[in-house]
Chain A
Amino acid sequence: MWDHVKLSLQSSMGRAMESLARLLPGILAFIVALLLFLFIGWILAWIVRRILAALGFDERMGRSAPTMAEWSPRLTPSQLVGRVVFWCFFTAGVMVGVSAFEAGSSENVVSGWILGYVPHIVGAAVLLLIGNMLARYVSRSVLIAGVNLNLSYARLLSMGVRWMILVLTAAMVLDHLQLGGDIVELGFGILFGGIVLALALAVGLGSRDLVSRSLEREASRVAEEQQPERVHHF
């Protein structure tokens, strides 16, 4: 009996080693393809940055599209383009690597599934990037504007805006990755709907006194404003 057990174990180990041996060339092909594309992407990104610098791309973008520099101030436009080129080649390297894996290991199912899913991953990554940039920019804008308007709750407002944008982004990313299905949509709808309803109740019911006090203050401020200003900044 122990001989049978030993034989079964040896045969299953043999099959496992055989499967691994079949996969190894594919994995090696994947790594080689990825490294090759990484190298090409790095070279091309460098060349693109040099060409754009020679063409004065940063100065022209600053004149015609200052928004780009405002959204991502630490990177110049040419650096941004260089990074986009590099990551495009990285993505291409992954896809070619998966094809090479398929060719090397005769596993068609994996590559078909991965190749079909890569655009979703890319789209989700782009959404995540844009969502994060937007959340950071808008929350900082709200914070600074709130402080300059002397709102004591400026930081709270800024955090609320940032988290709303991040939650919205997360829901869009999960939807794009086709993860969670209806649960994500329902959950997001309930969450956002709940927040909006709570705000509406708070403003409608809780701020009656605040609104009337605010109106009284405005009315008395009109009388105060008729006094001449004593400090002139300009």
Chain B
Amino acid sequence: MAGIEFSEETREHAKRIGSADIVVGVAGPVAPDELRARAETVVGLLGPSYASLRLILAWPSEEAGAPVGSLTGDQPTALTFFPFSWPGQAAGEFWEGVSAQQRAVLALAAQLNARACIVLGPDLAALHAHPLQLFAYAVLERQCGLVMPVYNAGRYDGLLNSGILAPLSRALYGRRLRYPLAFDFAASGAMCARLAGLESHQNNHGGNSLLWPATVAATQSAQTTVGQIRLDVHHQTASSGLDLSRVLTQIVGSLFQEMEACAAHWQRVRGSQPVPVWGAAPGEPPDAQPVDTRPMVDSFLLGSRNLDEVWRLVLPPNTLLDLRRLSRVAPEEFRMPNELWAGIVYDFALAYRLRTLSRAHLLGALTPLYLGWVASYIREVSALSHADAEQRLEQLSRVWEEKKPYLLSRWRWPDRFNP
């Protein structure tokens, strides 16, 4: 069933445990002592409704250890610590490593016949009572197959998600998920089995195989209920240590690959449906410091001067004309319209599918355009309130949906137009 083969020790321990109600898995290496201390505190705060539930707290470890039970204070909640290991545990680069760990956690939950599995990021930012309660409530009480988070992010946070991942996923699969790719999410028992068993399917398409739980929920079962919970949690990956181009290639490339694999499904989807959100709205994040967009505009201008020969292979003439006009405006008037940005990403997705040029080159050529959008977006929302900035993103997502017929016609009849 599952694509993950655990070590013999882990399998034996899992057999001995038998089953669990909730598996809370950390998708990445953690310091066991810190994890235990925090977990015991958190479980103690969960409340009496969790007293009868069997909780397993699992994390990947190079050496599988025997599960250790723990009782916390006055709450007799059965909490078992379970370090697990599997032979193919070598971490991939950035999200590849995160996805592999997430799959392992889901596979373990499926093996333990868990009713719910909560996957947390390795920085343990979401390891608090309230997020766990919300996840468990959404899966166990509301019968959601998949629960994704809505992070309380600032207007300059998660820009790759705001600019590409969220609007593209929404336009394709028809569900208004704020974060289709997240460090923290929860899945029901049936969904765990489906997600964990997908590895071999995704690897068949070659290249990056990230885990896209929202895509699986939208395409593999029309009956899967998806929900969202508000999390006042901040996962901030330092961008300075990462090559933006390589990460863009990994994440956006994987999304384009999913698009190709699920083409039969998303071509039938029209519009989008709201996804229920639970949890109280947290306070507004602190005001973001002003950002100098000049370096990003310069990157865009450098791209437009040097990558014209590459962009010409991918983008239609009217888009190239708009980009050329954009490269001539004064920096203070630099604005990339939503329609232009949506069209650019759709054209790149098509070029990815048609292999107009090498995929690595294609996604590398997208980076200056993405930075141009980021600069334009920052300039637009810098003077807006947090709510207005969110509204701006909502407008962007609607434009992507409205432009979907363009994607459909070019996808179905690629020979009718060839730049």
Show the binding face of A for B, using Cβ within 8 Å: 59, 62-64, 66, 69-71, 73-74, 137, 140-141, 143-148, 150, 152, 154-155, 225, 229-234
- CB of A73 to closest CB in B, whole Å: 4
Contacts of B237 in A (CB 8 A): 232, 234
B207 x A66 contact (CB < 8 A)? yes
B364 x A144 contact (CB < 8 A)? yes
Neighbour of A234 across the interface among B205, B239, B310, CB < 8 A: B239
**How far does the alpha carbon of A21 sit from the alpha carbon of B242 in the complex, in Å?**
75
A73 x B247 contact (CB < 8 A)? no
Neighbour of A229 across the interface among B239, B299, B356, CB < 8 A: B239
**How far does the alpha carbon of A152 sit from the alpha carbon of B204 in the complex, in Å?**
40
Q: Which 10 A-B pairs have the closest CB atoms?
A: A144-B364, A73-B355, A148-B245, A63-B206, A70-B358, A234-B237, A232-B157, A233-B160, A155-B306, A231-B156
- CB of B278 to closest CB in A, whole Å: 25
Contacts of A233 in B (CB 8 A): 158-160, 239, 244, 247, 374
A230 x B288 contact (CB < 8 A)? yes
Supplied contacts A229-B240, A233-B244, 8 more A-B pairs, CB within 8 Å: A140-B361, A143-B306, A144-B307, A144-B364, A230-B289, A231-B239, A232-B237, A233-B159
- Residues 9-36 of chain B, each 1 if its beta carbon lies under 8 Å from chain A, else 0: 0000000000000000000000000000
Chain B interface extent, by class = 35 or more
Neighbour of B310 across the interface among A64, A144, A146, A232, CB < 8 A: A144
B138 within 8 A of A: no
**How far does the alpha carbon of A150 sit from the alpha carbon of B294 in the complex, in Å?**
13
B357 x A73 contact (CB < 8 A)? yes
- CB of B40 to closest CB in A, whole Å: 31
What are 20 A-B interface contacts by the 8 Å CB criterion? A63-B206, A66-B207, A73-B359, A140-B357, A144-B307, A144-B365, A146-B306, A148-B243, A150-B295, A150-B302, A154-B306, A230-B288, A231-B156, A231-B239, A232-B236, A233-B158, A233-B239, A233-B244, A233-B247, A234-B247
Closest Cβ neighbor of A59 among chain B residues: B204
**How far does the alpha carbon of A63 sit from the alpha carbon of B208 in the complex, in Å?**
11
- CB of B377 to closest CB in A, whole Å: 10
- CB of B209 to closest CB in A, whole Å: 11
Known: A63-B206, A148-B364, A150-B302. A230 touches B247 (CB 8 A): no
Contacts of B79 in A (CB 8 A): none
B291 x A143 contact (CB < 8 A)? no
**How far does the alpha carbon of A143 sit from the alpha carbon of B378 in the complex, in Å?**
27
B307 x A147 contact (CB < 8 A)? yes
Contacts of A66 in B (CB 8 A): 206-207
Contacts of B295 in A (CB 8 A): 150
Known: A66-B206, A144-B310. A232 touches B355 (CB 8 A): no
Contacts of B222 in A (CB 8 A): none
- CB of A50 to closest CB in B, whole Å: 21
- CB of B94 to closest CB in A, whole Å: 8
- CB of B304 to closest CB in A, whole Å: 10
**How far does the alpha carbon of A18 sit from the alpha carbon of B153 in the complex, in Å?**
92
- CB of A80 to closest CB in B, whole Å: 12
Contacts of B307 in A (CB 8 A): 143-144, 147
Closest Cβ neighbor of B238 among chain A residues: A229
A234 x B160 contact (CB < 8 A)? yes
Interface core residue of B288, B298, B307 (most chain A CB under 10 Å):
B307
B159 x A150 contact (CB < 8 A)? no
Contacts of A147 in B (CB 8 A): 299, 302-303, 306-307, 367-368
Neighbour of A73 across the interface among B239, B302, B358, CB < 8 A: B358
B1 within 8 A of A: no
**How far does the alpha carbon of A154 sit from the alpha carbon of B365 in the complex, in Å?**
13
- CB of B160 to closest CB in A, whole Å: 5
**How far does the alpha carbon of A183 sit from the alpha carbon of B317 in the complex, in Å?**
47
- CB of B196 to closest CB in A, whole Å: 21
- Residues 339-360 of chain B, each 1 if its beta carbon lies under 8 Å from chain A, else 0: 0000000000000000111111
- CB of A77 to closest CB in B, whole Å: 11
**How far does the alpha carbon of A97 sit from the alpha carbon of B323 in the complex, in Å?**
55
